[in-house]
């Protein structure tokens, strides 16, 4: 019986020690907090807090369902961010990451498992934010068509030949553009969607200045708040110099000329009639005078 009691006592001591060691480990190596992915134009960062003091952080990441990996610059680091842009090679896949709180470099520990926190899942293709595009405006000679030439936003990705990729290289036909436009002197806004980076707007009012905003549009994404990129700066076309014929039209101008001619004719007729009446009045006055006596 005594041996059983001793064995139970030893087991109890071991359990208490393990709990004590776990609490000590948590106090020595606090867990990371506010873990989040941030990504713009495929530059994908994992961030967290707080800043470590007498410990460090190690990041482990993996494609969902695959083995975990580490990247050298995020092992026992004193930073609170990890750039995983080059590591997430399968852009359409979803990834998760763990942030481990570990001793600083050169410091050993008897702990087998360190405190860690997992991130939410993340996919570069489905989650990265697309920055604001730039574009130029070309006006046709007849001033009825405007062409917007959009510069596809460059990304943080490179191909095998170290050429920087733009969003059209990555998304291909999945990339569309939303265009918002209005007359410069109006508040009414219209919109259209284009599959191309060269956008033509037809049958616009001659000589009018139009203002434009453009943003990338990825309709395959869910939820909808991830479908639109950042809105471009507003740009307006120059106001055209229209001739009087373009401004009012030939019919209006011919009509105005006829009216002016008629007014002039009427004035001339009135003047002629007055002159005749005066002449007639003078003649009548002379005929009414008596003859001079001899």
- Classify domain 27-127 at the CATH class level: mainly beta
255-267: pLDDT as tens digits: 888 899 989 988 9
Q: Residues with Cβ < 8 Å from 32, sequence gap 6 or more?
A: 48, 49, 57, 80, 99, 101, 116, 117
For position 281, what pLDDT does the model report? 73
Among the listed residues 114, 85, 111, 86, the one whose alpha carbon sits nearest the alpha carbon of residue 98:
114
What is the pLDDT at residue 129? Answer: 98
Which pLDDT does position 22 carry in this prediction?
47
What pLDDT sits at residue 256? 82
The 3-state DSSP class for residue 134 equals: strand
Those residues with Cβ within 8 angstroms of residue 138's Cβ, 6 or more apart along the chain or in another chain: 146, 147, 148, 149
pTM to 2 decimals? 0.72
**Residue ranges of the chain whose pLDDT lies below 50:** 1, 15, 17, 19-27, 294
CATH for 134-242? 2.60.40.10
> pLDDT tens across 13-53, in order?
554 545 444 444 444 789 999 999 999 999 999 999 999 99
pLDDT given for residue 25 in this prediction: 42
Where do the domains of the chain lie?
Answer: 27-127, 134-242
**pLDDT of the residue at 244:** 53
Q: Coil, strand or helix: which one is 205?
A: coil
């Amino acid at each position: 019986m005594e041996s059983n009691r001793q064995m139970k006592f030893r087991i109890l001591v071991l359990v208490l020690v393990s709990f004590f060691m776990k609490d000590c480990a948590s106090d020595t190596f606090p867990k990371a907090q506010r873990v989040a992915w941030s990504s713009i134009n495929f530059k994908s960062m994992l961030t967290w807090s707080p800043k470590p003091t007498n410990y460090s952080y190690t990041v482990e990441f993996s494609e969902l369902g695959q083995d975990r990996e580490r990247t050298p610059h995020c092992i026992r680091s004193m930073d609170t961010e990890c750039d995983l842009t080059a590591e997430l090679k399968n852009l359409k896949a979803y990834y998760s990451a763990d942030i481990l709180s570990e001793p600083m470099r050169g410091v050993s520990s008897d702990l087998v498992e360190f405190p860690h926190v997992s991130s939410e899942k993340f996919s570069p293709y489905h989650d990265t934010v697309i920055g604001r595009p730039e574009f130029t405006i070309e006006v046709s000679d007849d001033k009825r068509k405007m062409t917007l030439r959009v510069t596809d936003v460059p990304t943080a990705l490179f191909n095998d030949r170290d050429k920087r990729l733009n969003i059209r290289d990555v998304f291909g036909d999945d990339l569309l553009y939303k265009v918002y436009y209005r007359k410069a002197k109006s508040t009414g806004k219209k919109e259209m969607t284009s599959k191309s980076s060269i956008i033509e707007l037809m049958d616009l009012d001659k000589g009018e200045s139009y203002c434009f905003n453009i943003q990338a549009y990825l309709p395959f994404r869910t939820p909808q708040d991830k479908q639109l990129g950042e809105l471009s700066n507003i740009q307006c076309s120059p106001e055209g110099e229209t001739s009087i014929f373009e401004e009012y039209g030939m019919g209006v101008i011919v009509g105005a000329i006829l009216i002016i001619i008629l007014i002039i004719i009427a004035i001339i007729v009135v003047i002629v009639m007055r002159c005749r009446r005066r002449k007639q009045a003078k003649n009548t006055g002379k005929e009414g005078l008596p003859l001079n006596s001899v």
